[in-house]
Amino acid sequence: LAKTTQPISMDSYEGQEVNITCSHNNIATNDYITWYQQFPSQGPRFIIQGYKTKVTNEVASLFIPADRKSSTLSLPRVSLSDTAVYYCLVYMNTGFQKLVFGTGTRLLVSP
Amino acid sequence: EPEVTQTPSHQVTQMGQEVILRCVPISNHLYFYWYRQILGQKVEFLVSFYNNEISEKSEIFDDQFSVERPDGSNFTLKIRSTKLEDSAMYFCASTEDGDQPQHFGDGTRLSIL
């Protein structure tokens, strides 16, 4: 069974940088890695997407090593409103390609 | 900003009944998806749909499930003979092409009694 694993939870304080890693050993060769944020009772919201190396947008950075077997979402200077669950989403090689969400990381940002 | 909309927001159904969950993807999008999220668990892929046919499906998407794009705007998920374990949030998503990020609706909460 294809798996993507993330830490279950992380705690941080306002203003700190938070790095969340997703392990995806069996990732498909040619597809993007995407990260989403989810608040309770809402659908996932797109944060950032990348294929390799580093990608940065106005809210986050994404670091992807050369082997692409993991990826790290970096949130600079988190605020209370960043408290949410964060998921990676990748295509896996499972005999047929399949979209797999990571196990999710619950981030709690405190004052 | 365009949104993916899902109806109803909450559906309560007796076990064994059929249910249809509805989604209106973003208008210029061509790829459509259904996901399931059991309470307290991660989001799970069910099926993707492109060019009026299923392009990929997971092991969860068995003969109990079917999808349809009955007209130019709606994308539906039908669950036949519902079971208690079908209770979950069901999310629809769409994207303009297969490489672009998916846009998700806010889901339908399905409760099977």
pLDDT tens, chain B, 113 aa long? 779 999 999 999 999 999 999 999 999 999 999 999 999 899 999 999 999 999 999 989 999 999 999 887 899 999 999 999 999 999 999 999 878 899 999 999 999 99
Residue A32, pLDDT > 60, answer yes
What value does the CA radius of gyration of chain B take, rounded to a whole number of Å?
Answer: 13
CB contact under 8 A, A102 and B42: yes
- Whether B33 contacts chain A with CB within 8 A: yes
**pLDDT given at position A96:** 59
Confidence of residue A1 (pLDDT cuts 50, 70, 90): low
* Cα B60 to Cα A38, A49, B36, B64, distances in angstroms: 22, 26, 9, 9
Task: Tell me which residue in A32, A87, A97 faces B42 most closely, judged by beta carbons.
Answer: A87
For residues A96 and A25, which has the higher predicted lDDT (pLDDT)?
A25
Asked if residue A77 has pLDDT above 90, the reply is yes
Question: How many whole angstroms separate alpha carbon B109 and alpha carbon A50?
Answer: 31
Token look-up 């970096």 returns A74
Measured distance CA(B19)–CA(B102) in Å, rounded? 25
Residues of B in Cβ contact (< 8 Å) with A62: none
Q: Which residues of A touch B44 (CB under 8 A)?
A: 101
pLDDT band per the 50, 70, 90 thresholds, residue A98: confident
Can you give the pLDDT at residue B65?
97
- The mean pLDDT value of chain A amounts to 92
Residues in chain A with CB shorter than 8 Å from the CB of B42 are 87, 101-104
pLDDT above 90: residue A106: yes
Share of chain A above pLDDT 70, in %: 95
Burial of B4 (0-12, 13-18, 19+ CB in 10 A): buried
Q: What is the pLDDT at residue A33?
A: 94
Answer whether the bond into residue A76 is a cis peptide, omega within 30°.
no
- Residues B87, B5: Cα–Cα separation, whole Å: 20
B55 sits in which H/E element:
strand B53-57
Look at residue A95 in the predicted model and tell me its pLDDT.
Answer: 57
The Cα A69–Cα A22 span in angstroms is: 9
Q: How far apart are CA B95 and CA B113, in angstroms?
A: 33
Strand B53-57 with B108-112, pairing: unpaired
Are B79 and B61 spatial neighbours (Cβ–Cβ below 8 Å)?
A: no
Which is it for strands B31-37 and B88-95: parallel, antiparallel or unpaired?
antiparallel
Q: How confident is the model at residue A31 (pLDDT cuts 50, 70, 90)?
A: confident
A9-13 and A105-110: which strand pairing? parallel
CB within 8 Å: B104 and A49 = no
Give the residue carrying structure tokens 């900003």: B1
Q: Rounded CA gap, A29 and A51, in Å?
A: 10
Q: Any CB–CB contact under 8 A between B21 and chain A?
A: no
Which chain A residues are Cβ-neighbours of B91 within 8 angstroms?
Answer: 43-44
How far A32 CA lies from chain B's nearest CA (Å)?
A: 7
Q: Which tokens go with A90?
A: 């990748």
- Greater confidence (B10 vs A95) lies with B10
Q: What average pLDDT score do residues A95-103 get?
A: 79
- The predicted-structure confidence for A43-69, as pLDDT tens digits, reads as follows 999 999 999 889 999 999 999 999 999
A99 neighbourhood in chain B, CB within 8 Å: 33, 45, 48, 56, 58
Q: How confident is the model over A9-36, as a mean pLDDT?
A: 93
Tell me which residue in B43, B56, B103 faces A87 most closely, judged by beta carbons.
Answer: B43
